[in-house]
Structure 1
Amino acid sequence: MRTAPDLSTVTWRKSSYSNNEGGVCVEVADHIPGLVPVRDAKNPHGPALLIPDEAWGAFIGSLKGERPAAR
């Protein structure tokens, strides 16, 4: 089993779709090997989801309308 990385020193960046009017507020952090941490910007001390980078790439690709690579 993999231990959770220490996220106390990562730099979080807010989604470009977030706004300051109570809209969707999602933040992600970079530079965690193999993972993309995701959290609710309105609750920065709350939990973060740790998404495998392959799954994150597929998710973002699907939002952009890209087809998954053939295996």
Structure 2
Amino acid sequence: MPFVNVRITRDGVTREQKAQVIREITETLQRVLNKKPELTHIVIEEVDTDNWGYAGITTTEYRAKNPG
């Protein structure tokens, strides 16, 4: 039973995009590792950008300083 945990920042990802990620990860596990889709679990965790940091600052701060 594969279990995949995907963590992303919560900032504009649509329901359709998340469904595509789940579908494509499931398809990859089936194609590459022969895992059954009905036994494959994908969890997407959305983290607020104030709660995700790197380079010593929050993602919110980083993006404000580095737009684009």
Identify the TM-score tier after normalising by the shorter chain. Answer: under 0.3
Give TM-score scaled by structure 1 length: 0.25
Look at both structures and tell me which one has the larger radius of gyration over its CA atoms. Answer: 2
Q: Which has the higher contact order (CA 8 A, sep 6+)?
A: 2
